[in-house]
Amino acid sequence: MTEDTKNYGPEAYETEGAAASEAAAEAGAEVTEQELLEAARAETAEMRDRYLRLAAEMDNLRRRTERDVKDAKSYSVAGFARDMLAVSDNLRRALDAIPAEARAAGDAGFNALIEGVEMTERSMLSALERHGVKKLEPEGQKFDPNFHQAMFEIPNPDVPNNTVVQVVQAGYTIGDRVLRPAMVGVAKGGPKIAIVDGETPAA
């Protein structure tokens, strides 16, 4: 057998073919591993994004739940408190309807009755205050439509315009909400109230 036959015979071609197939298989394996690695990275990034979104949603849900629970505790008695204010108003009307002369000339029993009604009114307002109900004191303040309800205007050039000068019915808040606006009379015709920067002038 000649040297050429030895180098280029069928065995040589088979050896070269096997080597080429092995190289192609290795290259294919490398490509496959690279693709798997990239796919794993993409899946990891997607799972991380889902986790972050879920964590953010859970945090928002926790905050909403805490706020709802707080509001439920603070405002669950709002309807009952509003009804009790009507009772308190009636007690006050009853006291205001007693003439000063009757108070002065009343016997011990009558005066004891008056004191009992006054104590009942104070006790009721104190109980409401313990549950977050607070009385508004608007007289002398600038009219605020969020807390006051204007019933009439009183010409008075001595006080700034839109100043509350009379309270017809007391107003109350519960927490940071208005339970009942104060019914008031406001001044008309006085000097304008100075406008603070960023504040909307009253009509």
The partner residues of 134 in beta bridges, in order of sequence, read 173
Q: What angle do CA 119, 182, 200 make, to 5 degrees?
A: 150
- Per-residue pLDDT of 39-88, as tens digits, reads 888 889 899 999 999 999 999 989 988 887 877 777 778 888 888 999 99
Mean pLDDT rounded to a whole number for the chain: 81
Q: In the chain, what percentage of residues exceed pLDDT 90?
A: 33
Which class for 16: exposed (0-12), middle (13-18), buried (19 or more C-beta within 10 A)? exposed
Report the pLDDT value the prediction gives residue 38, as an integer from 0 to 100.
Answer: 86
The pTM score is 0.58
Task: For residue 116, give Cα distances in angstroms to 113, 123, 134.
Answer: 5, 10, 23
State how far the Cα of 194 lies from the Cα of 185, in Å rounded to an integer.
Answer: 20
Query: In the numeric block, which tokens belong to residue 12?
Result: 């040589």
Residue 175 vs residue 12, higher pLDDT: 175
Residue 7 vs residue 188, higher pLDDT: 188
State how far the Cα of 147 lies from the Cα of 70, in Å rounded to an integer.
Answer: 22
1-15, 32-46, 108-122: which range is least confident on average? 1-15
Span between the terminal Cα atoms of the chain, in Å: 118
Report the pLDDT value the prediction gives residue 40, as an integer from 0 to 100.
Answer: 86
**Confidence band (pLDDT; 50, 70, 90) for 175?**
confident
Report the pLDDT value the prediction gives residue 27, as an integer from 0 to 100.
Answer: 54
Contact 171, 193 (CB under 8 A): no
State how far the Cα of 175 lies from the Cα of 192, in Å rounded to an integer.
Answer: 32
State how far the Cα of 172 lies from the Cα of 179, in Å rounded to an integer.
Answer: 5
Q: In what order do the strands lie in the sheet with 172-174?
A: 133-135, 172-174, 177-180
- Per-residue pLDDT of 126-164, as tens digits, reads 998 888 899 999 999 999 999 999 999 999 888 899 999
State how far the Cα of 71 lies from the Cα of 74, in Å rounded to an integer.
Answer: 5
Q: Evaluate if residue 179 carries a pLDDT over 80.
A: yes
